[in-house]
C-alpha cells in the first residue's frame, strides 16, 4: 500500500527500544510528511542510529507502533518495504566495482547490486534516469569518471545519486559528511541543498551531529539526547543554546548566519545565541 499524500510517510508513536536491559530510545514520537527535509541531530550515543534503524524497518521497536510508507512494522513484509526506501550509510567501498564509471555505479542501484552492468539489462530510459539522478546531486560532471578516481566526497555524492535510482519514497542519509575535509564537506552540503530543492525529491532525513553540516533547505530538526526527544521543529526553535547545552552537557554558543549554523563550547561557561544575517 502506497502512503497517501495527505498521510505521514513515517509515523512513530511512543517508540521505545530496549537493548540488553538498557533503554536506547524512550517514548519517541515522530511524523515525517511528504516534502519534509529533516535533520536527525544529537551527540554520539543519543539514539540517532537506533531511530534510523526503526525508520528504515531494520529494527522493530520494543514498545510503541511504527508505520512506514503506510505499512505498520510487524504486519507487513519488511523486505518489500525496504525496496521503497533509499538508504545511504557508510560507503560500502569493498562492494563497489571501482573501475566502473560513476554513472554505471549509479545505474546498478536499480537492482540493488554492485555487479558490473553487463549482468543486468538496462533500457535507454534507465540510463537517462541515472544521469538525472546525478544531476539531482549537481554531479553530472562526475558521470564518466572512474569511481576509483573520485575523492571521498565525490564518491558519497555518487552513492547518494545511486540511492535515487529506484525512485524511493523516503531517503535516509546517515552522516554522509563523516570523514570529509572542509572542501569536500562543503561540496556535499551544496549538493544536498540542490537535491532538497528538487520538486520530485522524496522526503529526506539527514543524520548528523554537527550543526555546520546542515544544508540550507533542511527546515526541520529532531534533536535527541540520551534516547529522548529534547527538541522538534524548525532549526530556529530547536537549535538554541539551551537545547544544545542540554544535549551535549556543557554550555554552548550557537550562531546562525547566511542560512548556515555554527556552534562551539562557551569558554566562560555562559551559553548564548547570536543572530547575524538570516
The per-residue pLDDT for 275 is 43
**What is the average per-residue pLDDT within 181-185?**
93
DSSP 237: H
Least confident stretch, 9-23, 28-42, 102-116, 135-149: 102-116
Question: C-alpha angle 244/247/251, rounded to 5°?
Answer: 50
Compute the average pLDDT of residues 129-134: 96
Look up residue 203 and give its three cell numbers: 522526503
**Structure confidence at residue 184 (pLDDT):** 92
Mean pLDDT, all residues of the chain: 89
The residue that leads in pLDDT, 204 or 179, is 204
Residue 175 has pLDDT above 80, yes or no: yes
Per-residue pLDDT at 9: 96
Instruction: Check whether 50 has a pLDDT greater than 70.
Output: yes
Q: Return d(Cα 59, Cα 193) in angstroms, integer.
A: 29
pLDDT tens-place string over residues 188-244 = 999 999 999 988 899 999 999 999 999 999 999 999 999 999 999 999 999 999 999
What does the pLDDT read at residue 274? 46
What three-state secondary structure class fits 225? Answer: strand
Find the range with the poorest average confidence among 46-60, 91-105, 180-194. 91-105
**Residue 276: its pLDDT value, please?**
41
Q: What is the mean pLDDT of residues 259-267?
A: 91
Phi, then psi, of 71 in degrees rounded to 5: -115, 140
3-class secondary structure, 73: coil
Decide: residue 4, CB within 10 A, 0-12 exposed, 13-18 middle, 19+ buried: exposed
Q: Is the pLDDT of residue 91 over 60?
A: no
Q: Which pLDDT does position 270 carry in this prediction?
A: 57
pLDDT over 70 at 278, yes or no? no
Of these ranges, 11-20, 73-82, 94-103, 147-156, the one predicted with the greatest mean pLDDT is: 11-20
pTM of the predicted protein model: 0.88
User: 132 pLDDT exceeds 70?
Assistant: yes
- pLDDT bin (cut points 50, 70, 90) of residue 116 is low
Q: Above 70 in pLDDT, residue 15? A: yes
Amino acid at each position: 500500500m502506497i502512503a497517501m499524500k495527505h498521510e505521514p510517510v513515517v509515523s512513530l508513536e511512543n517508540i521505545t527500544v530496549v537493548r540488553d536491559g538498557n533503554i536506547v530510545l524512550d517514548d519517541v514520537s515522530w511524523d515525517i510528511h511528504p516534502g519534509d527535509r529533516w535533520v536527525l541531530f544529537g551527540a554520539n550515543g543519543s539514539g540517532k542510529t537506533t531511530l534510523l534503524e526503526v525508520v528504515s524497518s531494520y529494527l522493530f521497536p520494543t514498545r510503541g507502533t511504527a508505520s512506514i510508507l503506510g505499512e505498520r512494522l510487524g504486519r507487513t513484509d519488511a523486505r518489500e518495504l525496504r525496496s521503497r526506501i533509499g538508504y545511504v550509510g557508510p560507503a560500502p567501498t569493498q562492494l563497489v566495482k571501482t573501475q566502473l564509471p560513476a554513472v554505471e555505479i549509479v545505474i546498478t542501484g536499480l537492482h540493488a547490486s554492485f555487479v558490473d552492468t553487463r549482468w543486468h539489462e538496462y533500457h535507454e530510459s534507465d540510463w537517462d534516469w541515472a544521469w538525472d539522478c546525478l544531476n539531482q546531486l549537481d554531479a553530472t560532471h562526475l558521470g564518466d569518471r572512474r569511481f576509483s578516481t573520485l575523492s571521498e566526497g565525490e564518491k558519497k555524492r555518487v552513492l547518494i545519486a545511486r540511492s535515487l535510482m529506484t525512485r524511493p519514497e523516503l531517503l535516509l542519509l546517515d552522516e554522509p559528511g563523516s570523514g570529509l575535509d572542509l572542501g569536500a564537506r562543503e561540496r556535499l552540503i551544496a549538493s544536498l541543498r540542490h537535491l532538497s530543492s528538487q520538486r520530485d525529491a522524496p522526503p529526506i532525513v539527514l543524520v548528523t551531529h554537527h550543526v555546520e553540516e546542515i544544508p540550507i533547505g533542511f527546515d526541520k530538526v529532531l534533536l535527541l539526547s540520551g534516547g529522548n526527544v529534547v527538541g522538534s521543529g524548525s532549526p530556529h526553535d530547536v537549535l538554541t543554546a539551551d537545547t544544545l547545552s542540554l544535549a551535549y552537557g556543557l554550555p554552548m554558543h550557537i550562531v546562525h548566519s547566511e542560512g548556515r549554523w555554527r556552534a562551539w563550547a562557551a569558554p566562560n561557561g555562559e551559553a548564548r545565541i547570536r543572530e547575524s544575517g538570516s
